[in-house]
Structure 1
Amino acid sequence: MSEVGESAGLRMNEKRGRLLLLTTILGSGMAFLDGTIVNVALPRIGKELQADLAGLQWVVNGYTLTLASLILVGGSLGDRLGRKRVYGWGVAGFAVMSVLCALAPTIEILVASRLLQGVAAALLTPGSLAMLQASFHPDDRMRAIGAWTGMLGIATAGGPVVGGWLVGIEWRLAFWLNVPLAAIVLLLLRSAPESRDEEASHHTDLAGVLLAPIGLAGITWALTAWPDTGASVSTLLSLAVGVLACVAFVVAERRERDPMVPLSLFANRTFSVINLVTLVVYGALSGSMFFIAVFLQVSAGWSPLAAGAATVPMSVIMLFLASRFGGIASTYGARTPMLAGSVLIAAALALLALAPDDPSFWRHILPGVTLMGFGLSMLVAPLTGTVLAAAPPSRSGLASGINNAISRTAGLLAIAVLPLLVGLSGREYAQGHLVADAYRQAMWWCAALVLAGTVVTAFGLERHCNRQMAEPATEGSPA
């Protein structure tokens, strides 16, 4: 593959190299912080905008829907038109949509703004690593990616605290925060080198671009509406449209000469197994984080700051241990640490499910989130590295993008279906005892999902799968 750019030899000890690293960290951190803060802000948003549970689900799912559907398109546009250029478009668009979110007078306008914000994120998200990969000297490339990963880990660990503090003052500040961050990123981006892939296809898979969001939107809409409307004509029609669009997407990708998602990659057993594990584990993770944020504020009566800080131990543990377990997996194989990590995550979710309506952080929350931090540290790096190693080297970026999209889709579906499974609907999310009951059921469902992933890993991966893995670093990780 031919990579062309203004510079392909930036070094970590040079000013331009450090500026590019800072640019990618701030841009990616903006998107990471936004997702963290919005979860914490949901109860306040619902109260001020008089939103029901479905409205709050769409505040999260609207963003995830467009991001998951278009993230591969964003990566492709960067390869073709210039990664710096497309990254800049994404950052600027994210800032504009954040302003619309901050000014939204109704839940409907907020959801529409979040949908558009997800489109901007789909341009922004793939660009960070692609710019580092293309611009840094090969000797400094992994150091730059490692620094990017570590700094994002710190941002993720601090995000719930910053978010809780801002939401405690005014939830709209969660979106206003993106404006100055985006301005700094765009200013720094002026000195960044441009890069593109001169061999990238200029063909656009229009069928894939259209069918993916239609399929996901139809299914998500039906699952979100079902608790309130039941098997109504509109709900069933939405579900049918979504399922048919997904089937049509698979057919179209099989026939497309240059597909957005090459189905030939899934002929590799390891690639298919790892993406299936990603779907169930990341679904459980997204669903549990959604319910924890609502439970701690609505049922337990915690402040947004306290609720956000409750999950910080998990991020801190991952920050220090994830790379170590990645090294262990590279030496001994991914299967064993993935199995151990999955079991720990399931146990952590079971512990969290035992929390009473008025939980103590030290007795009922801290043990679970701490155990989850250890489990995710064991699981995430081997999973990511195995996905990259399972694809041909020329398609490692595409394999990473597909896995990223699947992890986002998992969160989208989990947040849509879990309230249906636990019987939480309408404005019941504002009633503490009902939310507490739903939370405990949701944790058990999430634990079951992770155990299903454990079974898939045990029987799907070879015992010494991919001992020599690619270096794990993708934006699809929860770290």
Structure 2
Amino acid sequence: MGSELHLSTGTLQWIVNAYILGYGGFLLLGGRVSDLIGRRQVFLIAVAVFGLASIVSALMSNEMTLIALRLVKGIAAGFTVPAGMSIVSTTFAEGPARMKALSIYSIFGTTGFALGLVLGGVLTELGWRITLFAPGPLAIIIFLLGLRLIPRSTRERVTLKQFDLWGALTITGSLLLLVYALVEAPVQGWTSFWTIALLVASVALMVAFVLVERKHPHPLVRIGILRSATLRNANLAAMTLLGSFMAFQFIVTIYLQDSLRWAPLWVALAFLPSSLFQVVFGPRIDKVMKRLGTVVAILIGLTSVSVGYLLFFRVDPSLPYWNFLLATMILIGIGFVLAFPAVNVQGTFGVAPQEQGLASGLVNTSLQIGGAVSLAIITAVLNSSNESTQQNQLLPNMHTAMAIVAGLALLGVLATLIHLLNSSRENKKEIK
């Protein structure tokens, strides 16, 4: 794309980051709006906008138009994801039925993410316009199927006066500034005035949001929902699980492409084993969660990916794939097949039907913020060295970056273990 349209590196970065900005900034608003005005309506409108923006973007050559359409796609995804997840969680009764449904939902998400790497590699070989176009027809098909298959449901009538406008503006503004600061920090510098000013403004808007929510009769986010230790643990686990993986994926992709000179398709295939576990075992994982409980499933899953990251420290340019990376990919696959569905189930467990979209939005926001923060940190670490990447050599600061990745995953393990111990103590007190 850069070569054909004569785009600068900064422009290319924003064609990627505009989507992240829209998605991360609107997840919470999208989740709550779907609760208030109807999950079916929000999902169908958002997925249609996503599809049309994909098709139109493939026809564009103007850089600002491409960035704007990517932002629109991100915003549409920010409404689609929590609305879709809340449709699943409210259609099935809490218990085994919902657990199985959310497990299947989660497995499709993680499998799609992994297989998307392979498909993206194939499409990129054919042309960047095809890569942008491909999601469009699929989204339109989903829209048409949704019209027929998604059940209608009764909803509370909400007037404009009841809608928490200031809450929507402050939380969306806070998340937009936070994501923007994180994606720009590697370029501007973590200690630059610009980065610090954006982060301070984000925090200020978040404080304003909390003050608004405490007084509004119909808050966008009921602050009391955050008092749930189970929900807090699910969000922290989501943040560390996906945050560590996205950072790991970034490190490995650059290492395989820039150092070992692997083609993009082969890099994508290197990640494939992690998704195979999800395809094979994902549909049955609800039975495992029912037996272990979501907290234990998250704990085992995070431990598995942590061990996988630690094993990667054996990496050496002379080692074949099966020796330095295959075991890590298998452990990541096991970890995700256990932890990712459990995070989604735990994040919506015990939440009232009218707040399922909000809970879904919180979980997905945690996933997105975890990924954005970890990528910003890892990018800064890798770019802090003055050395350039040499063929058949480890990346500069690669071990430092991997230590951060492993540390983030282990933080999730520690937090989940503490939550499990606290829950056990509380259960014993209730029995006594």
Does structure 1 retain, via aligned residues, the 8 Å contact 2:32–2:361?
A: no
Supply the distance in 1 between the matched residues of 2:314 and 2:4 (Cα, whole angstroms): 27
Does structure 2 retain, via aligned residues, the 8 Å contact 1:57–1:415?
A: no
CA pair 415-47 structure 1, distance change in 2 beyond 3 A: farther
Mean Cα deviation higher: 336-345 or 57-66: 57-66
CA pair 357-256 structure 1, distance change in 2 beyond 3 A: farther
CA pair 365-196 structure 1, distance change in 2 beyond 3 A: same
CA pair 46-314 structure 1, distance change in 2 beyond 3 A: farther
CA displacement at 1:341 relative to structure 2: 2.0
The residue type paired with residue 70 of structure 1 is F
CA pair 250-133 structure 1, distance change in 2 beyond 3 A: closer
- Match for residue 260 of structure 1? 220
CA displacement at 1:374 relative to structure 2: 1.1
Cα deviation, 1:404-453, whole Å, max 9, x if unaligned, reads 22212222222223212333599x99876898235543322111001111
The residue type paired with residue 80 of structure 2 is L
Query: Structure 2-normalised TM-score?
Result: 0.82
- Match for residue 459 of structure 1? 418
Does structure 2 retain, via aligned residues, the 8 Å contact 1:82–1:194?
A: no
- Match for residue 421 of structure 1? 381
The residue type paired with residue 115 of structure 1 is L
Does structure 2 retain, via aligned residues, the 8 Å contact 1:89–1:123?
A: no
CA pair 154-193 structure 1, distance change in 2 beyond 3 A: closer
- Match for residue 69 of structure 1? 25
Matches within 5 A, 1:322-333: 322=282, 324-333=284-293
Matches within 5 A, 1:258-337: 258-322=218-282, 324-337=284-297
Query: Structure 1-normalised TM-score?
Result: 0.75
Identity of aligned residues (%): 26
The residue type paired with residue 25 of structure 2 is S
The residue type paired with residue 444 of structure 1 is A
CA displacement at 1:205 relative to structure 2: 2.2
Does structure 2 retain, via aligned residues, the 8 Å contact 1:424–1:435?
A: no
- Match for residue 34 of structure 1? none
Supply the distance in 2 between the matched residues of 1:435 and 1:118 (Cα, whole angstroms): 34
Q: Is 2:108 aligned against 1:161?
A: no
Supply the distance in 2 between the matched residues of 1:236 and 1:327 (Cα, whole angstroms): 47
Does structure 2 retain, via aligned residues, the 8 Å contact 1:61–1:412?
A: no
Supply the distance in 2 between the matched residues of 1:425 and 1:211 (Cα, whole angstroms): 37
- Root-mean-square deviation (Å): 3.7
Does structure 2 retain, via aligned residues, the 8 Å contact 1:279–1:407?
A: yes
Tell me the matched-pair count.
422
Supply the distance in 2 between the matched residues of 1:346 and 1:48 (Cα, whole angstroms): 41
CA displacement at 1:89 relative to structure 2: 1.8
CA pair 137-404 structure 1, distance change in 2 beyond 3 A: closer
CA displacement at 1:70 relative to structure 2: 1.9
CA pair 366-104 structure 1, distance change in 2 beyond 3 A: farther
- Match for residue 310 of structure 2? 350
In structure 1, stretches of 5+ residues that fail to align are 1-43, 466-479
Mean Cα deviation higher: 376-385 or 190-199: 190-199
The residue type paired with residue 419 of structure 2 is G
Supply the distance in 2 between the matched residues of 1:154 and 1:219 (Cα, whole angstroms): 28
Does structure 2 retain, via aligned residues, the 8 Å contact 1:345–1:372?
A: yes
CA pair 368-224 structure 1, distance change in 2 beyond 3 A: same
In structure 2, stretches of 5+ residues that fail to align are 425-432
CA displacement at 1:357 relative to structure 2: 4.8
Supply the distance in 2 between the matched residues of 1:127 and 1:367 (Cα, whole angstroms): 36
Q: Is 2:76 aligned against 1:120?
A: yes
Which secondary structure does the structure 1 equivalent of 2:276 belong to?
A: helix
CA pair 90-438 structure 1, distance change in 2 beyond 3 A: farther
- Match for residue 132 of structure 2? 175
Query: Of the candidates 353, 358, 361, which is equivalent to residue 401 of structure 1?
Result: 361
